[in-house]
Amino acid sequence: MPLSTSTTERRRASPAPPVAQSRPWRALPPWAALCTGALGGLVTETAFPSKSWWPMAYVGMALLVLALRRDSIPRGFITAAVFGLAFFLPHLWWADAAVGAPIGWIALAALQSTAVGLFGAAWVAVRRTRFVARHDLVQVAVVAILWTAIEQLRGRVPFGGFPWGLLAFSQTDGPLMPLASVGGTTVVSAVTAAIGALLAVGATRWLCRAPVGRIATPLATAVVLTFAPSLVPTPTAAESGTLVVGAIQGNVPTRGADATSQARAVAANHVAGTRALLRDAGVGALDLVVWPESASDIDPRTDDELAGAIDSIARDAGAPILLGTQRFADRARYNDYLVWPPGSRGTDAYTKQRPVPFGEYIPCRDFFRRLSPDVDRVTTDMAAGGATGVLDVPIAALGRPVRVATAICFEVAYGDLIRESVVAGGELIVIPTNNASFGLTQESTQQLAMSRFRAVEHGRATVQVSTVGVSAVIAPDGAVLDRTALFTSDQMIADLPLRTTLTLADRLGAWPTGMIDAAALTLLATAAFGRSRLRGGGGRA
């Protein structure tokens, strides 16, 4: 028989069975949620260089999830944006040192924090859906998906994106690092966020006075997720020979952004550093010499004096030199990384594909000039190259050219560029950079963490070489074999393996990213559809 009207009404009016225990923990008041979010951002930043306390990324994410318990999309946005500000303001303070005025630093941190705010709004919206609301372990997966999707979004837009401060880069000293070879930053960031969300579930169940078994389940899962990836192999053996590589950190005459005006002195420093290395290692000991970005900002291909100095030291070394220079053409400048074998005038070059907006070129210059006249400190915009970052370097000892994958300076943050170079045959990765504008900040060590991540992601030995430091030689498993200090003249030498095997991350390519994006869009569409049904049916939206 059909249910009576009164019975049906009583059933509709009955509340859903509680997900937690009989004493649920109420959401934090707004002021406490903001404070918890801010604390989470500060804690998360300590997981990155220079402190590198990698477990703090889990704790910081847990605090963010706990701060977002209130069922309000606007408050979710604000709370997560406060987390973002607390994270990005200290994380990116090197931008203040580079620009010399706080406006660029604050604007960059605020923009990135807005993306984090979108995560908070999206998380609150999706959490309202019935299935997600009833299963707190499902919420863990949702947090991981939405957080990683937002990271990918801010790595693309605006102006080509800014993938700095990805959770994955906090894990270079932790047991999650081997997962880089499985799915790159997408997988490592997702697992890091999931561990944080599991800690939040455990804390919530404890505050709700759940049984010990229910509290232990998410915590035990977090422990397994943390340490199981250390079982993933990260091979380091040579597959196509080895190279004895000398890396030269020549230093600059003075600190600060004006160092590029002293191009001849900087080039002379790198010539002198190479001679010092040859005295220690012996003539003929090196297969390859690598100089940094901006090692010779006067183009030696068009300057006879510099060409003679560079070719002289290349002949003395008996090895090709890789060096960074600037090329001017068509009212633009190009950031080139050049192959200079002995007796040549340069045989191959890579041109930077992702110039830094507001640092190397000014987008919408007329508009932004109204906001700050400092934009005109960039007098000539840098144009982007279009070729894959791989260089053919003749190596006499091997009797063949070696393909070297390269990305210049900030390009190390863009995983797609380096993957293209490795898939194109790169057997070794070289990251030339110029950190002279960032003073004694943590920018160079943050960059080193990214270079270490790329080494594991692609299973390649990696050299990060800087004008002023930090420079480092990195094994294919991410171990730092040697490194320099900031603002010193130094040299390193290492026998590095050449490898050709592609990792799973290389083979999968954009698939992990696409799957995360598709899952995030599906979750958001489901949340929007459910909300519209509630409104259309006269229910509580």
Residue 501, phi-psi category: left (phi > 0), alpha (psi -120 to 50), beta (remainder):
beta
Q: Compute the distance between CA of residue 225 and CA of residue 476 in angstroms, rounded to an integer.
A: 23
Place 535 in a pLDDT band, splitting at 50, 70 and 90. Answer: low
The CA radius of gyration of the chain, in Å to the nearest whole number, is 26
Output the pLDDT for position 77. 98
What average pLDDT does range 279-307 have in this prediction? Answer: 94
Task: Yes or no: say if 507 and 497 are a contact pair by the CB < 8 Å rule.
Answer: no
CA 160 – CA 137 distance, rounded (Å): 35
State residue 376's pLDDT score.
82
Q: Which residue has the higher pLDDT, 541 or 81?
A: 81
DSSP 8-state secondary structure symbol assigned to residue 432: E
pLDDT at 283: 82
- Of 168-182, 282-296, 354-368, least confident by mean pLDDT is 354-368
pLDDT at 118 over 70: yes
User: 474 pairs with which residues across the strands?
Assistant: 462, 480
Give percent of the chain with pLDDT exceeding 90: 83
Average pLDDT over residues 121-131: 94
Label residue 13 by pLDDT band (50, 70, 90).
Answer: very low
Report the share of the chain in percent with pLDDT over 70: 92
Measured CA to CA, the distance from residue 465 to residue 468 in angstroms comes to 9
Asked if residue 10 has pLDDT above 60, the reply is no
Asked if the model's pLDDT at residue 288 lies above 60, the reply is yes
The mean pLDDT value for 190-212 works out to 96
**Which has more pLDDT, 375 or 413?**
413
What is the b/e burial string over 193-202, where b = at least 16 CB atoms within 10 angstroms of the residue's CB?
Answer: bbbbbbbbbb
Q: Count Cα atoms within 13 angstroms, Cβ side, for 81.
A: 13
Per the listing, tokens 């000892």 go with 397
Q: What is the structure's pLDDT at 530? A: 76
Overall average pLDDT of the 132-143 stretch: 95
User: Coil, helix or strand for 81?
Assistant: helix
pLDDT confidence bin for 104, thresholds 50/70/90: confident
Model confidence at 5, in pLDDT bands (50, 70, 90)?
very low
Task: Please give the positions annotated as active site.
Answer: 293, 352, 409
Among 108-117, 258-267, 297-306, whose mean pLDDT is lowest? 258-267
Going by pLDDT thresholds of 50, 70 and 90, the confidence category of residue 377 is: confident
DSSP 322: E
**Which region among 94-98, 165-169, 210-214, 242-246 has the lowest average model confidence (pLDDT)?**
94-98
What is the distance between the alpha carbons of residues 484 and 522, in angstroms, rounded to a whole number? 47
Query: 523 by DSSP, 3-state: which?
Result: helix
pLDDT digit string, tens, across residues 37-56? 999 999 999 999 999 999 99
CA–CA separation, 355 and 311 (whole Å):
28
**Around 446, how many Cα atoms within 13 Å sit in the side-chain half-sphere?**
26
pLDDT band at 223 (very low <50, low <70, confident <90, very high): very high
pLDDT at 262: 84
How sure is the predictor about 490, in pLDDT bands with cuts at 50, 70 and 90?
very high
Q: Which pLDDT belongs to residue 533? A: 59
For the chain, the average pLDDT equals 92
Residue 21 has pLDDT above 50, yes or no: no
